[in-house]
Amino acid sequence: MSSKKIITGILTLFLMLNITSISSAQSVDELKQNINDHNSKIKKLEEEIKIYEKEIETVGGKAKTLESAVKVLDINQKKIGTEIKKTETDIQKTNLTITSIGGEIGDIESKIELNSTAIAKALSDMRQRDEESLIENFLTNKSIAEILDEYESISQFQQKVRDQSKQLALYKKDLSDKKTITEREQKKLVNLKTGLNDQNQILAINKKEKSTLLANTKNKEAEYKKILAARKAEKERFEKELFEFESQLKIAINPKSYPSPRKGILSWPLDDIYITQRFGRTVDSVRLYRSGTHNGVDFRASRGTPVKAALNGVVVGVGNTDAQKGCYSYGKWILISHPNGLSTLYAHLDLIKVNKDQTVRTGDIIGYSGSTGYATGPHLHVTVYASQGVKIQRYSSSINCKNVSIPISDVKAYLDPLLYF
């Protein structure tokens, strides 16, 4: 085979490469445009969610009336519905991204294969040429200069193909890495969609709660006020008896068993942090608690907000004080013990996503905030304990909460959460 045919064959393969690239360009551009359209849709949905959040904050901040309570639930329902749409759009966008990258990877693989074929063919033909003697080549009426020029051209072209194959291999690796990252993102979005379905379940529970509330109050504001007053009285009674009980506990707590206060030991349990009540003696604690102190920190959180573990640990218990009628306490709660000697309590949840003895990692979603137990509005309550001083037990000596289990602690075990977050 002549060197001219060798070069012609390789040029044909390169032409095929270019055709492959051109034919796929249009579909890639269409995918990218589709992705951009989804990004625009996501942005609009995010703006809509922010509007709902502001409405919830405005209505929730007004006087506690039956009308405002029902309206907050209705707005929350719309907000969660919009969040579900946003997540579904995110998932669609991610799938398009994966398809786009997958197409590029396939295109690159085709190019690599064609380049490899070109190199193999060039090497094979070169070996064949090498087997021919210089005299045989010369007898074909070619000069030595022409023969050497042909060999030099083929060698240079062959090196060019090798170099391009190396570049394409690197590009393929880069695209494969991107695809892995995108698939990981898709998994996160699928998990988020599951979370939003959980929140939709929460809103369904709240909708039932709304119906029950309207039935109990006969849609009358006066009846609603009576219910609120009764709950407050029962809550104050429970706070008094719990404070007196815990004040009598004498649990040995070694100060060296847990870390000294330092910012950053615990991670924030919410993505958006807004503190509504601090630890210790505050104006609200004097007003709301018989002990005059607040044993944790309250964070603003609309119903259905994901609550995250503040640190690696083991779930030592979960519970629901609403299981006993008239027990206005923590509502749905989770207690996690951490390896460093601290324990964290998350209360007033609408939905619990972990089980007793389950191991969790920092940032894992363990539940969703709500307004269970006694709460003047949706929020998250977090208490931090020295683990040695807290235990879970059925509070049998209580009047209204004797049939439920809750965390019981020596008062010395309560720590200021804001010194650790």
- Which tokens in the block code for residue 156? 């240079």
Among 419, 406, 418, smallest CA distance to 277 is for 418
Q: Higher pLDDT residue, 107 or 22?
A: 107
Mean local confidence (pLDDT), 178-186 = 84
Among 316, 317, 343, smallest CA distance to 253 is for 343
Residue 37 to residue 44: CA distance in whole angstroms: 11
What is the CB neighbour count within 10 angstroms for residue 191?
12
> Which neighbouring-strand residues pair with 349?
332, 369
Across 200-220, b (16+ Cβ under 10 Å) vs e yields bebbeebeebbeebbeebeee
Residue 333 to residue 317: CA distance in whole angstroms: 8
Contact 335, 344 (CB under 8 A): yes
Q: What is the mean pLDDT of the chain?
A: 82
Report the SS3 class of residue 63: coil
Task: Give the DSSP per-residue string, 359-382.
Answer: EE-TT-EEEEEB--SS-SSSEEEE
> Which amino acid, residue 400?
N
Contact 326, 234 (CB under 8 A): yes
pLDDT tens-digit series, residues 45-68: 999 998 998 898 888 877 788 888
Identify the sign of the CA torsion 191, 192, 197, 202: positive
Picking from 38-42, 103-107, 300-304, which range would have the lowest pLDDT averaged per residue?
Answer: 103-107
Predicted confidence at residue 104, as pLDDT, reads 78
Residue located via tokens 């030991």: 265
pLDDT tens-digit series, residues 111-120: 777 767 766 7
Phi–psi pair at 407, nearest 5 degrees: -70, 130
Residue 200 to residue 322: CA distance in whole angstroms: 21
- Which tokens in the block code for residue 178? 């991107």
Cβ partners under 8 Å of residue 149, min gap 6: none
Residue 84 to residue 10: CA distance in whole angstroms: 53
Mean local confidence (pLDDT), 392-398 = 87
Task: Give the DSSP per-residue string, 235-265.
Answer: HHHHHHHHHHHHHT------GGGSPPP-TTS
Cβ partners under 8 Å of residue 59, min gap 6: 68, 71, 72, 75
pLDDT tens-digit series, residues 296-339: 999 999 888 899 999 999 999 999 999 998 888 899 999 999 99
Confidence of residue 156 (pLDDT cuts 50, 70, 90): confident
pLDDT tens-digit series, residues 231-271: 888 888 888 888 888 888 888 899 999 999 999 999 999 99
Among 123, 139, 203, 134, smallest CA distance to 368 is for 203
Alpha helices in 61-143 (DSSP H): 66-131, 134-138
Which domains are delineated in the chain?
A: 3-209 (no CATH), 220-419 (2.70.70.10)
